[in-house]
Amino acid sequence: MTSESVSPQEAQRLIEQGAVLIDIRDRAEYLREHIPYALSLPLADITADKTVVSAERQPVIFHCLTGMRTAQNAHVLTKAASPAPVLLMAGGINAWKSAGLPTIEDKKQPLPVMRQVQIVAGTLILTGVVLGYTIDSRLFLLSGFVGAGLLFAGLSGLCGMASLLLKMPWNRPAK
């Protein structure tokens, strides 16, 4: 069984007819902003062989942020929803919002941890460069250290900065 791509407008029409919409982003991303009526089932849970809620042969539409995760994992998603027909929403929630369709947003929820990593890493690198040029060239090492950490995270899949940020008090889900 293969999966097809649908536009956000087509997905909305199908949802109104009973299709099941499943958000495969991490739970924190879902809590921050999601499409009304979307169920949260993170990709990590799906790949760990947890099954999708039975759709009773109604189409199952999967989406993520941009459509990349759903496209890259189409086979796994199709298998998880079988025997229901599987559709992938092109462009993810970003395309949904670009089409002017509604979302539920809770800005009290923390930013996704990878965005936090990007903000902190970018700040540290920029700080190292500015201080290296203005105060002491040894401060360029700060930028090098952060770059080495990002390289290690990319190669190993282990991100020390993300692990540290997850322990910060602002990353506790809002009530």
Active site residues: 64
Cα–Cα distance measured from residue 33 to residue 27, given in angstroms and rounded to the nearest whole number? 10
On whether the CB atoms of residues 105 and 29 are closer than 8 A, the answer is no
Classify the C-alpha dihedral 43-38-72-109 as positive or negative. Answer: negative
Residues in Cβ contact with 104 at an 8 Å cutoff, skipping those fewer than 6 apart = 33, 34, 35, 36
What residue has token string 């499943």? 22
Q: CA 14 to CA 7: how far, in whole Å? A: 11
CA nearest to 143, candidates 121, 132, 128, 161: 128
The two structure tokens encoding residue 133 = 């040029």
Kind and range of the H or E element at 22? strand 20-23
CB neighbours (10 Å) of residue 146?
20
